[in-house]
Structures are given as structure tokens and as C-alpha cells.
Structure 1
Amino acid sequence: MARATTRSGQRAPRLGAEERRTQLAETAARRFYHHGFHAVALADVATEVGVTAPAVYRHFRNKNALLAGAIDSGLDVADAALDGAGQSLDDILFRLAGAALDRRDLWVLLQREKRHLGGEERAAIDARFARFILRFSDQLRRARPDVDLGQSKLLVTAALATLASASVSGVHLPRTEHQRVLAAAAIAVAHTRLPAAEHGEAQPSPEPRRPQDSPSRAEELLETAIKLFHEHGYTGVSLDDIGAAVGLSGPSIYYHFETKSEILVTAFAQAAHGLAVHEGDGRAGVPLGDLVRDYIRAGVQQRHLFGVYVTEAINLPREAADRIGAELDANVEAWTAALRLLRADLSAGEDRALVYAARGVVNDVVRVGDLHGRRQIESELGALLRAVLEADPARITRDGA
């Protein structure tokens, strides 16, 4: 049989079994990252690599195993960054920043695609990622013996969120410069002095509805759908699931929303409109502090919506994705313009990278685990975001901090 060719028409190079497995895993990782799990077929990966589809099955028994292999290959890079780092936390973060740029797909696969794995495969990935988090947490605790376990968890989540922001920012910087920016943001987070506990003063939470403020049926459906999308993923929830959760049969739902896609678009439009609340207030510019405060408050009070915002954009119809994306981009630009007024030392790419890193901290902290329930999470997030936005990439040398 003739050897297969790559998509460009060139003959595929002969590789050893382990090399081919790695090539397939990394190719699949890129495709899952850009197109989503359900939009990628094994044949797509085989064609790009230049082998036949049956050849893929010699390395991965099915697409789920290929996804697990894709995530594993990214975790190999992250683990190597920890293995090669010295004892300095700053050096570790510098190396992890490089790993985040080398494998921008990893964090998206962990956040968005891992849920498609079966029981054993998902458990294995969860266990491996937990070991990575434990190793990094140990390094942070050694550098920060002043923090308790809860504060350490918050700092670890926030520091990794700054690095993960490279997966979604679309910022184009020379790699060395980009690595310095990410490292500076993560280092600033890791060394943040969190506000002292204020006993007896809990953070504000979403205000309970008064009887006269009872949501409409459409609002109830939307809120329920957002929660279900956040917990199970858009593709894992049906209209019947949403209806059953509010006591409606399938046909009754169509009176409010014709399709599940319409619900997702409405949820994203709600997020975009909420973040753009200042855009039309007539002022030439909104102070950065106001933008930060409003974003934190929205994240804490609408964590399920933020969870959907982070993981489900890939499922938006193209027209809606373009329209809502433009509105969200305008909010990012408002942050960037406000930061630029305060930080003339930053280049155009550096300021946007710090903005995405800061917003990424909120996105991950409010939706991961129970960090959103910390008594003073809004003031803690405020301190973390100030640290990111004040981070100085110029202080990071090429070989580390």
C-alpha cells in the first residue's frame, strides 16, 4: 500500500511508534483547541499528519483516547517545566509561562473538552492534573509560608489563570516578550499580600428575589439553562433537560425559545451587555478601577454565566459569535485604553496581555471549586487584579526573574 500524504500533498515521514503517537496527540490537541471535540474526526487528524485513518487506531483506540492523549501531551510540557525549574518560585513561573505559550491548547482542553472523556480516562487526567497542582502548590507554600491553605489555593488558581490567558487572548508578541509579560503577571499574583480577614462581614451575594420580582418563565428558563450549561456543558444538555428542571414539557419551552442555540446566544448577549454597561454612559473613558470592580462583582454574582462565557463560546452560531465577540472585544479595549493612560511604559501588546491575564483571574476563580464563596473574595480579587495590572515585564530577565 502506498504511504499516505499530508494535507499539503507531501509524503508523511516515517516515524517510530512513540514519535508518531506524540505527533498524532499534538495534532489532535491543536484541532480540538480550534474546532472543539465534536467538530473533529479521527480522519481529520490522520489527514493532517499524513497517515491513513486506520493507522490512528494503532495508537489510540477511539477519539476519546485521542483526546486523553492530547491532554496528556500538554501536561508533559507543563510537568517538564516544573521538573526543570530551580527552587525559586519566580523561576518556576517563568518556565511555566513558556510552557503556556508552547501549548496554548492545554488549558482550553482542560477547561472545555475534558468533560467529553469517559470515566477511567477522565479520572486518569484528573489525577495527573491534581498531582501537577499539588507540586506547584508545594512550591508556592514554600515561598509563601505566611498564607493559609485557603489563601494558597486562591493564589495557585489565580497564578495559573494568568498563564492560561494566553490560550484565549489572541495577543501577538515576540515569544520572549510574551513570556516575560505572562511571568510578570503570575509572579505578581503569587506574591500578592491578600487583605486581612474581616470577620463577620461576608461578601455581597446575588440579592434574593422578592415575591414581586419573580422571574418570568423565559428568565427562569434562561437562568436554569445557564446553570445546566455550566455544570454539564452545552452539548450535554437538551431542551428537555432544561424544561424538566423548571417543570415544563418540551412543547411549552418553544413558546419562549425556539432552539437550544437561541438560549446560548441569549446568555452570551446578557453577559456582553452586562460588561458593556459603561460603554454608553457619555464619558470619554471609564476609570480602570471602575471596570475592574464591575467585572469582579459580575463574576462573583453570576458565576454560572461566567462559566458558560469561558467554555461555550465555540458553540455559538457564526453570526452571533461575531456580533457578541465584537461587543466583548470593545470591553477589553476599554480596559486596555484605561490601563494605557496609567502605564505608558507598556507596549500595545503588553497592555492587552495584562488585561487578559487580569480578567482571566476573575474568570477562573469565580467558576472553579468554591473560591467564589470566600468571605472577602471581592476584595481579594481586587488585590490580585491590581497586582497583575501593575506587573512590570521589564523586570523579568530572559532567563527568569
Structure 2
Amino acid sequence: MSATSDTPPVDTGDVPRPPTRRTQAKAARRAELLTAAARQMAERGFAGVRLEDIGRAVGVSGPAMYRHFSSKTELLDEMLVDISQRLYDGGAEVVDRGGPPSETLLALIGFHIDVLVTKPDLIVVQDRDLSSMTPEANHRVRLLQRRYVERWVDVVIAIYEQEGRTLDRAEARVRVHATFGLLNSSPRLPAYDEAQLRRLLTAMALAALGCRV
């Protein structure tokens, strides 16, 4: 028997192929279109923006837009499902690290503010244009939002219990939703020093939640 016959064949079927330049270029252009769409929809609303307007902002002709998105609604769906998934995943990661509830809450607030600061247009569109999504995408977004809220609720209740106070889950949800309302309104505010804005929003969030940390 030869030496080579004892060598098992190498299975390369599960090895992912690196993306081609064309695939990378298409993904980059798609990301540009999503960013342009968020900016325009934040400024003018979903109804006030055409697919052609979005394409023009990044140098894509009207017909070429349909190679990326079949409709403006498809674009909105992807945009809002993505930001909702990002919020939930980020919040879950913060909570799953463990640690004292007070530190976890501050980290959750900081994470949410990070998203507000870096993706203000998406937050505005998410807050205003959910009703323009397809029913399936709308359901997905609302499910992710509820799960994100529950992560916060668990932490807030833990802080109350640690302090010897009681807070039922229904009231905790109201407080968390009110906090999101405060935080998510910040992209519409006039320009403000970021460090001061972060301190102010953190203090407002803690006050709305009734937490002393």
C-alpha cells in the first residue's frame, strides 16, 4: 500500500469561500444606499422620499436601484430590522456579562446612547415609520423591541430589589418605555456637546427609571 493511499481525503466542502471583489463592491454599495435612505427618511419621512432620490444621493441611476432593492418598502424593512437586531444583540451582550445590576444599567444606558450618537437617522426613522413596513418585518421589529425592553426591565427590577424597594413588572416596562422616549428624542435636538449630552441623557434615564446608582 502506498503512503498516499493511507491519507484521508480532505473535505473542503465546509470551508467558506472568500467574497469576490464584485460581491464586496455590491455589499458596500448596498450599505451606502441604506445610509442615504436613513438620512433622507429622517429628514423628509418615508412618504417624502423616492427610491430614485436615494439612488441619486450615491450615484446610482433609477433602474440600477432595482438590482439592490425591489422597492422602497424592502429597503425600509431591512434598515429597521437591522437596527432593531443590533439594539437587542448589544443589550443582551451587556446583560449577559453579569456584574452588579447598577453597573449593568449604566452600561445599557451607555450602549443605547452610543447607538443614538452614531446612528441618529435610523433612530428617527425607527421611531416614526414602523407603520410603513411590511407586516412580517413590522412583527419582527416589534418582537425584537419587546425582547430588548425585557432585558432592561430585568435589570431595573434587580436594582429596586437590591435597594429593598418593590417594583412590579408592568410599571418597570412603563418606566423603560418612557426612558426610551426621552433618549430617542435626542437626535431631533439642536447640536450639543457630545460629552455633556451623554451626561445629561444618563441622568434623565436614571431619573425616569427611578434608579439611584
Taking structure 1 as the reference length, the TM-score comes to 0.42
Q: Distance in 1 between matches of 2:186 and 2:95?
A: 32
Tell me which residue corresponds to 1:353.
174
Unaligned ranges ≥5, structure 1: 1-214, 393-401
Q: Does 1:324 align with 2:141?
A: yes
* TM-fit CA distance, 1:346: 1.4
Partner Cα separation in structure 2 for residue 373 and residue 314 of structure 1:
33
State the match for 2:66 in structure 1. Answer: 254
1:218 and 1:277, CA in 2 relative to 1: closer, same or farther beyond 3 A? same
Say yes or no: does 1:306 pair with 2:123.
yes
8 Å CA contact 1:371–1:377 kept in 2: the answer is no
Alignment of 1:283 onto 2:100 = no
Give the aligned partner of residue 380 of structure 1: 200
- Spell out, residue by residue over 1:201-259, the C-alpha distance to the aligned partner (whole angstroms, 9 max, x if none): xxxxxxxxxxxxxx811111000000000000001101011111112111111111111
1:253 & 1:323 partners in 2: Cα distance? 25
Which residue number in structure 2 is paired with residue 363 of structure 1? 184
- How many residues of Structure 1 are paired with residues of Structure 2 in the alignment? 177
- CA-based RMSD: 2.2
Q: Aligned AA for 2:157?
A: R
| Paired residues for 1:122-141 under 5 Å | none
Task: Verify the 8 A CA contact 1:230 1:304 in the aligned structure 2.
Answer: yes
Distance 2:61 2:29 in 1: 13
TM alignment of 1:2-401, pairs within 5 A: 216-278=28-90, 279=92, 283=96, 287-344=104-161, 345-366=166-187, 368-371=188-191, 373-390=193-210
Aligned to 1:112: none
Between the aligned partners of 1:284 and 1:300, the Cα distance in structure 2 is: 23
Distance 2:88 2:170 in 1: 22
Question: What amino acid is aligned across from residue 209 of structure 2 in structure 1?
Answer: L
Partners of 1:292 and 1:341 in 2: how far apart? 16
Gap regions ≥5 residues in structure 2: 1-26
Once the 2 structures are TM-superposed, how far is the Cα of residue 371 of structure 1 from its aligned partner? Answer: 4.4
Give the secondary-structure state (helix, strand or coil) at the position aligned to 1:231.
helix
**What CA distance in whole angstroms lies between the structure 1 residues aligned with 2:169 and 2:112?**
22
Give the structure with the larger helix fraction.
Answer: 2
Residue 300 of structure 1 contacts residue 378 of structure 1 at CA under 8 Å; is this kept in 2? no
